[in-house]
Each structure stands twice: as structure tokens, then as C-alpha cells.
Amino acid sequence: MTVSRSSESVQLPSTPSSCNEKISVIRHVKEADPVRNVLYVDDDPLILRAVQRALRETDFNIDVSSSAEQGLRMLNEKQYAVVAADYRMPGLDGIQFLERVRRLWPETVRVLITGQGDFELALRAINKAELFRFLTKPWEANDLRNTLERGCIQYRIIKENHELTCLLEKKNTELVQMNEHLDGEVQRRTSDLLAGLLNALDLRDTETQWHSRRVALYARRLAFELGLSPEEQLTVERGALLHDLGKIGVSDTILLKPGKLTEEEWNEMRKHTVYGYNMLRNIDFLGKARMLVRSHHERHDGKGYPDGIRSEEIYIGARIFAVIDTYDAMTSDRPYRKALPPEVAREEIIKNRGSQFDPVVVDAFLRIPQEELDELHDKAQSEEIAGLD
């Protein structure tokens, strides 16, 4: 058979598969390098012989198939860079066949061969198979060779891009894991440092020894009662644990003074909230917790310090802490008095509901059974707390 003349080919986009996409049919690859493998499908044996003659002197590894069904079986056994198919075939037509190829082997470059009378129909259906190109027949041998050559180049580009994408995803995953490890290590070392500072503060201020640990557990329980997320609960616990960190910056003559402080000394003592806040400034994972450190002496009515803010202007963790701090201070032994009964502390909190304390926070605190608070008290005394971890 003589193949007479060429017709125009139109380039269309070809989409590579994603790195994680599962190919539903497993290939049994025979060649190490499939980039020159070509499959031509047509039910006319004369056309198939003409294709083989046209490609005889080339380096294409050409296989032919007389039906779409046979072509799918061949694709299942061997990897092809380019698949070309005639439009008019019994059973699956060329577009249906190439659409199936697109779904099963999306990286394979697809070419449709169509007669002159089928041009409009093929053009309307072209997107279904996401064709690389199509040729109208009768085609010339040079046009066929050029189309297949460009298809093989396109296939190589697709495969190389796909491999680069997979490599990039792998490196990104490794980088994320490395960063997570480094972030975790930074957090761990920072936590160890802060825990050491808290221990140092406990040694300086024996009056508040264990106080930070108790209020941290109480505050987390109250945050849970208020419906805060687990992440927010942990933030509140951390802030409560660190609330007095700034006292490290207060001189011993004031911090350890046995008698009543003067107004000037009180002004200096009040600065511990800002000292602690500034000490945590560059520790990103404690960003919200440091707001509790700054605002834990603010009042619901705006009469607190250091900023004199009120109501919901105050960070929720600080509003929680205000209630918890009062409860713990009243129910703990102090040099100047013994611990008061829990019911006395609860009465004092109720008395200051709406003035010193946020009413919503007070109501939530009162819902916590006393038995739970007692258990948390004992847990803190045994150092079973990990608010910085």
C-alpha cells in the first residue's frame, strides 16, 4: 500500500501523573529504557504494514495491534512512550481507547489518527483523551515519524519532570522532618532551661515553692472546663507554670523582704510581669503563654496591672489564672498563716465575681469538684507535671 499525503497535526497538552498516583494496572517492563517504544493500533492490516515500513529505518521500537482490546493487553505487558490509534475501529473506537490509556497510563503520550471526514468529530472529542497530537490520514511517512519523534521527546520530558517532582517531594519531606526534629530539640532544650529557671526561683522564694506547679495543673483543668482546645489548654498550663518567671529580675531585698513592702518596693515588684514577658519574647512556641505571664495580675474591672486592661481585653489564660491563683494562695500554707479551707477560698472568689474575676471563669471553676482539685494538688507535690514538654 502507498501512503500518499500528509495532513496538519495539532499539539495539545499532556498531563503527567502525580508522584503518589497509583497506576491501576501493573506493568511488566521488558526494556530498561522505554522512551523509544511505540504502539500503533489500527484494525486495517494494510495500514499496520505501512507503519512498519515507514519506521523500518528508524530507531523506534514499533509494535502494532489490530484492535483496541489487544492494544490494552500489550500495554499491560510493556511500557510505551507513545500510543497512536486510529479513530474508526470496531469495539472501542480510537477516542475511547486513548481515554482508557489516559486513565491507566497517564504518562504515555497519546496520538489519534483520523480520516478527513472525521476531523470535526475528533476535534470535539479531543479533550476526553487529552491528546498530545492527532494526524489525519492518509499521512506521509515523514509526518508520522516527526509526530512520533516529538511524542517520544514529550514522554522523556514528562518522565524527567515526574522524577524531579518525586525527588523534590522526597527532599521536602526530609527537610520537614529535619525541621520538626530541630524544632523539637529547641523546644526540649528551651523547656529544660525554663524548668531550671523555675527551680532557681523556687530556691530564692521558698514561700512560693510548688505554687507554680499547682497553679499550672489547676489552670489546665479550668481551661478544659471552659471548653478550650487541647492546644489552648497546654498553652494555659505553660503560661501558669511560668507566670512568676520575671521575679528572677526582682532584687532579693524586695523579693525576700519579711515585712510589708513600701509603695516604691511594690512598684518594683509589679514589674515582674513585664520582666517575665520580655524574657520569653524570642521563644516562638510560648507566644501565647507569655501573654498570661504579662497579664496574670490584670483584673476584670480594669484595676489590675501592668496595662490596666479589662474584661475580654485580657487574655483568657490570664483570666483563668486570676481565679486559680487566688484559690491556691488561700488554700496553701504561708509564713504568716496556715492554709484556709477550700470553701473559704470559693466564697472569696464568688464575692469578687464580676470585679476582680471574669464571671464566666468563676462559674466554670465552681463546677469543678473539690475532689479533683485535691488530686491535682497532690500530683503537683509529686512533680508529675510536664507543662513545658
The confidence band for 319, taking pLDDT boundaries of 50, 70 and 90, is very high
Q: What angle, rounded to 10 degrees, do the helices at 68-77 and 94-104 form? A: 20
The predicted pLDDT at position 333 comes to: 81
Q: How far apart are CA 360 and CA 227, in angstroms?
A: 12
Closest CA to 173 of 17, 16, 20, 389: 20
Which tens digit of pLDDT belongs to each residue from 297-307? 999 999 999 99
Which tens digit of pLDDT belongs to each residue from 131-179? 888 888 889 999 999 999 999 999 999 888 888 888 888 888 888 888 7
Which tens digit of pLDDT belongs to each residue from 175-192? 888 877 877 777 777 667
Please tell me which residue in 128, 159, 247, 288 is annotated as part of the active site: 247
The predicted pLDDT at position 136 comes to: 84
Query: Is pLDDT of 229 > 90?
Result: yes
Least confident of 100-104, 114-118, 216-220: 114-118
Q: Please indicate whether residue 351 is annotated as part of the active site.
A: no
The one-letter code for the residue type at 138 is P
The predicted pLDDT at position 26 comes to: 32
Cell of 131: 491528546
SS3 (DSSP) at 9: coil
Are the CB atoms for 241 and 213 separated by under 8 Å? yes
The full DSSP string for 91-156 is SS-HHHHHHHHHHH-TTSEEEEEEEGGGHHHHHHHHHHHT-SEEEEESPPHHHHHHHHHHHHHHHH
Q: Which domains does the chain have, with CATH numbers?
A: 1-204 (3.40.50.2300), 205-381 (1.10.3210.10)
Q: How far apart are CA 286 and CA 197, in angstroms?
A: 15
Burial of 381 (0-12, 13-18, 19+ CB in 10 A): exposed
**pTM of the model as a whole:** 0.55
Please tell me the total number of residues recorded for the chain in this structure: 389
What is the average pLDDT across 93-106? 92
The predicted pLDDT at position 206 comes to: 55
253 vs 41, higher pLDDT: 41
Burial of 383 (0-12, 13-18, 19+ CB in 10 A): exposed
